Structure 1
């Protein structure tokens, strides 16, 4: 299923997306923290290796999520929903 463009969402759907932002930010932070923990442990235990660079794989995903969150907040503000 393909996601709709944010501008095509109804006001109710946009408010639902805005409600998901807080939990999305927490999940991104938790996943990134977990991956950094694995990288540090791996670097200390085995030296630099494949597991050391795993957080770099998730950074673009988190950045994309952050941009989407900003777009949703901008649209909510433009439409005067909050």
Structure 2
């Protein structure tokens, strides 16, 4: 969803999106932690390789999710729901 679509949501739908996005933040943190663990293990066992760069693949996805979260927080603040 982009900013324009977020602004058309009702208050209840916006609050539901915030709940979903909180789950996404936790999921992103868990995935990044696992990917960093895999990367460190790969570096220790075999040196640098393809698995060493694995966390770099997920960073753009996590960044996009974080921008979405910030847009939701901004909209909540504008509507005085938080």
TM-score of the aligned structures, taking structure 2 as reference length? 0.90
Q: Which runs of 5+ in 1 are unaligned?
A: none
What is the aligned partner in structure 1 of residue 72 from structure 2? Answer: 72
Question: Cα offset for 1:22?
Answer: 2.2
CA–CA separation in structure 2 for the residues paired with 1:69 and 1:37: 25
What count of residue pairs does the alignment treat as equivalent?
80
3-state DSSP of counterpart to 2:52: helix
Measured against aligned partners, the alpha-carbon deviations of 1:54-81 in whole angstroms (never above 9, x if no partner) come to 1000001001000000000110110112
CA distance in 2, matches of 1:64, 1:48: 27
Query: Can you list the C-alpha shifts for 1:30-56, whole angstroms capped at 9, x where unaligned?
Result: 000000000000011011000000100
- In structure 2, the partner of 1:60 is 60
The aligned residue for residue 24 of structure 1 is 24
1 CA distance for matches of 2:8 and 2:56? 32
Counterparts of 1:9 and 1:37 in 2: how far apart (Å)? 39
Structure 2 unpaired stretches of 5+: none
In the alignment, what sits opposite 1:10? 10
